[in-house]
Amino acid sequence: MSGKIIKYSFLSLLTILNTWDSMAQFAPAANQEQSTAISKDSSAIKMWASSYENYLPGTDVDDVWKTPEKALGKAQGQSGEVVCLGNGGQITFTFDSLIVNLLGPDFVGFENALTDHFLELSWVEVSADGQNFVRFPNRSYTSTAVSAFGELNPEHVDGFCSKYRQGFGTPFDLDSVGLDTVRYIKIIDIIGDGLSLDSDGRPIYDPTPTVGSGGVDIDAIGVIHAAPLINSIVQRSASRLKVFPNPASDWVQITSDQLYKTEVKIYNALGQLFWESYFESKLNLDCSQWPQGYYFVKIEQEKKAETIKLLIQH
C-alpha cells in the first residue's frame, strides 16, 4: 500500500509541475505579438536614473564588472555597458524627479541578456523615502532547475527585471504596489537554484551557477511617467490643498486653508506648465475643454509647495 501511495504522490507532483508550464502565458519575447517589451529608443521614456546608492555586489563577480556608473543614463543595449550585481547582490537607483503612477507602465528596467531566453532574474522594489521598500509581485513557472548556460521561456516569468533581451526593457506599473510616487528603485539579484520563492511560493529558477559576471547585469532604468519641477505630491486627506471633484469633467474647485494670496500652477502629465494664476482661499476652474488625462495641481505658500494629482475625464 505504501508503494502505491508514494507512486501516486510522485505522479501528483509531476501533474502539478506540468500544470505550471501549461498555465504560464505571460507576455512573450521582444518584437512578438502581445510582448510588453519597450525599446531603449522609445519616445515614451522621459528620464533615466541619475545616481545610485547601496551598491552591494554579491559573489562571483570580477572587479571589471563592478561599475554602477555604467547603469546611469540611457540604456546602451550592449553587453559590456552594464553593472553586474553578482549572485545575490543589489543596487538602488535614484532620480532627479518623482516617478508617478499614471495610466500604464511607469518605469522600465533594462538588462543585457544576449538572447530572448538567457534570462538572469532579479526582484524589483520601490520606495518613496529610501527606507521602506515594496516588492513588485512576481511569478515564476519554470518547473525545473536551469544550468549555468541554460534558457528560460519568457512566457513563464513575470514581474522580474530582465525578462527581455538587451536593448528592450521590462515595464513596471506602480498600480501593482499601490504607490502614487516613488524616488528609489532597488534591484536585487535572485540566485536561481530554487531556494528563492516567487510571490506565490513557487521556486525561482534561472541560469545557475554563473561566475565572473555572476548574477543579473543592469543596463539602465528608464522612467515613463516623471513629474519634473514638482517638489512633493501629497494625499488629499493630509493636505492644506483640496481639489474637488477628482476625477473632474466640467469644472474643478481648488481650495486652501490659507486666506492670503496663493500661487497655483497646473502641469500636464509630461510635467509641462499648463495653467497658472493666484487665488485666495478658493478658485473655480472651467475644465470642460481640457484634454483628458492626468494633471498636477501645485500651490506654493510661504516657500512651501504641495501638489495633488488630478484626473480629467469627459
User: Are 107 and 135 within one domain?
Assistant: yes
Q: Is 80 exceeded by the pLDDT of residue 180?
A: yes
Among candidate residues 185, 200, 227, the one where a domain is terminated: 227
Beta bridge partners of 161: 122
Amino acid at 280: E
Distances (CA, A) of 114 to 96, 111, 217: 30, 9, 11
Q: Is 90 exceeded by the pLDDT of residue 165?
A: yes
User: Are 104 and 243 within one domain?
Assistant: no
Q: What is the dihedral of CA 70, 76, 79, 85, to 10 degrees?
A: 40
Distances (CA, A) of 151 to 18, 113, 192, 277: 18, 11, 12, 58
User: Residue 206 falls within a domain, yes or no?
Assistant: yes
Which residues form the domain of 194?
20-227
User: Are 162 and 89 within one domain?
Assistant: yes
Among candidate residues 204, 227, 250, the one where a domain is terminated: 227
User: Residue 13 falls within a domain, yes or no?
Assistant: no
User: Are 212 and 241 within one domain?
Assistant: no
Beta bridge partners of 262: 279
**Looking at residue 219, what is its pLDDT?**
97
User: Residue 10 falls within a domain, yes or no?
Assistant: no
Q: Are 52 and 92 in contact (CB under 8 A)?
A: yes
User: Are 171 and 262 within one domain?
Assistant: no
Among candidate residues 183, 209, 227, the one where a domain is terminated: 227
- Which class for 215: exposed (0-12), middle (13-18), buried (19 or more C-beta within 10 A)? buried
User: Residue 8 falls within a domain, yes or no?
Assistant: no
Amino acid at 133: F
CATH number at residue 250: 2.60.40.3080
Give the tens place of pLDDT for each residue, 93-104: 999 888 988 889
User: Residue 14 falls within a domain, yes or no?
Assistant: no
* Cα–Cα distance measured from residue 179 to residue 177, given in angstroms and rounded to the nearest whole number: 6
Q: Is 90 exceeded by the pLDDT of residue 297?
A: no
Q: Is 60 exceeded by the pLDDT of residue 14?
A: no
User: Are 136 and 183 within one domain?
Assistant: yes
User: In the numeric block, which cell numbers belong to residue 218?
Assistant: 543592469
State the total domains in the chain.
2
User: Residue 213 falls within a domain, yes or no?
Assistant: yes
Give me the DSSP letters along 231-275: -----GGG-SEEEESSSBSSEEEEEES--S-EEEEEEETTS-EEE
User: Residue 121 falls within a domain, yes or no?
Assistant: yes
* Cα–Cα distance measured from residue 29 to residue 266, given in angstroms and rounded to the nearest whole number: 39
User: Are 219 and 240 within one domain?
Assistant: no
- Name which of 15-29, 181-195, 198-212 the model is least confident about: 15-29
CATH number at residue 218: 2.60.120.260
User: Are 173 and 194 within one domain?
Assistant: yes
- Name which of 12-26, 111-125, 239-253 the model is least confident about: 12-26
How do strand 226-227 and strand 134-135 relate by DSSP bridges? unpaired
CB neighbours of residue 125 within 10 Å:
18
State the pTM of this model.
0.72
Q: Is 90 exceeded by the pLDDT of residue 59?
A: yes
Distances (CA, A) of 198 to 140, 176, 192, 203: 6, 15, 11, 6
User: Are 221 and 297 within one domain?
Assistant: no
228: cis peptide before it, omega within 30°? no
User: Residue 9 falls within a domain, yes or no?
Assistant: no
**Looking at residue 290, what is its pLDDT?**
94
How far apart are the two ends of the chain, measured CA to CA in Å? 69
Beta bridge partners of 307: 298
User: Are 157 and 215 within one domain?
Assistant: yes
User: Are 49 and 96 within one domain?
Assistant: yes
DSSP code, position 132: S
Specify the DSSP element, H or E, that contains 205.
Answer: strand 203-205
User: Are 222 and 248 within one domain?
Assistant: no
Amino acid at 6: I
